Amino acid sequence: YPFAVRTFVFAMPLSMACPIMLESLLFDLRTRNPTLFVYFYRRYCWLLVAAFFNVSKIPERIQPGLFDIVGHSHQLFHIFTFLSIYDQVHYVEDGLAEFLKAPLDAPTYLGTVGYMLLLTLCLVVVVRRFLSVADLCKQ
């Protein structure tokens, strides 16, 4: 159970990176904005290293008692998490600077309310599907 909770704590934020990772693959972020590309991927490398130390408890497993005060896996977790946040701040600042250089067009009615209505329709379809499955289970 604690292993699952620790893993979930890292899997959830990593899954939130999927849109940016998809953008970097589809639109070649490496050539369009190399600074953002480096900061973004380095951030997730730091998070993976932090997750490794937090989940594996490596230093104190190898030498029990030696890493009780300095070098504990939880301390390493915080160091690598800080490094990931540091990179995140840099890529957010860089992304905002790029946006301010050439702002996008104003949003349209169809591009805002239209997408909201489409999302609502999809959610209604999913809920109806689950309700129909629940009715079948009762019978």
Q: Quick: pLDDT tens for 72-104.
A: 888 999 999 999 999 989 988 988 888 888 877
Position with higher pLDDT, 15 vs 33: 33
Amino acid at 138: K
Residues 5/55, Cβ–Cβ less than 8 Å: no
- Asked whether residue 71 falls in the same domain as residue 138, the answer is no
- Asked whether residue 68 falls in the same domain as residue 113, the answer is no
Mean pLDDT of the chain: 84
- Asked whether residue 23 falls in the same domain as residue 87, the answer is yes
- Asked whether residue 100 falls in the same domain as residue 111, the answer is no
Residues 25/45, Cβ–Cβ less than 8 Å: no
- Asked whether residue 59 falls in the same domain as residue 10, the answer is yes
Q: Structural domain tally of the chain?
A: 2
- Asked whether residue 44 falls in the same domain as residue 70, the answer is yes
In the predicted model, is pLDDT for residue 56 greater than 90? no
Q: How far apart are CA 47 and CA 50, in angstroms?
A: 5
- Asked whether residue 77 falls in the same domain as residue 134, the answer is no
- Asked whether residue 31 falls in the same domain as residue 72, the answer is yes
What tokens does 46 get? Answer: 């730091």
Position with higher pLDDT, 49 vs 103: 49
User: What's the rounded mean pLDDT across residues 8-21?
Assistant: 74
Q: How far apart are CA 81 and CA 58, in angstroms?
A: 17
Q: Is 74 annotated as a binding residue?
A: yes
In the predicted model, is pLDDT for residue 126 greater than 80? yes
Residues 84/36, Cβ–Cβ less than 8 Å: no
Give the residue ranges of DSSP H helices in the chain: 2-15, 18-26, 29-32, 34-56, 58-62, 73-101, 109, 115-138
pLDDT digits (tens, 9 = 90+) for 111-123: 899 999 999 999 9
List the domain range (segments joined by +) for residue 59: 2-104
Look at residue 69 in the predicted model and tell me its pLDDT.
Answer: 79
- Asked whether residue 91 falls in the same domain as residue 49, the answer is yes
In the predicted model, is pLDDT for residue 137 greater than 70? no
User: What's the rounded mean pLDDT across residues 120-127?
Assistant: 94
In the predicted model, is pLDDT for residue 20 greater than 80? no
- Asked whether residue 99 falls in the same domain as residue 121, the answer is no
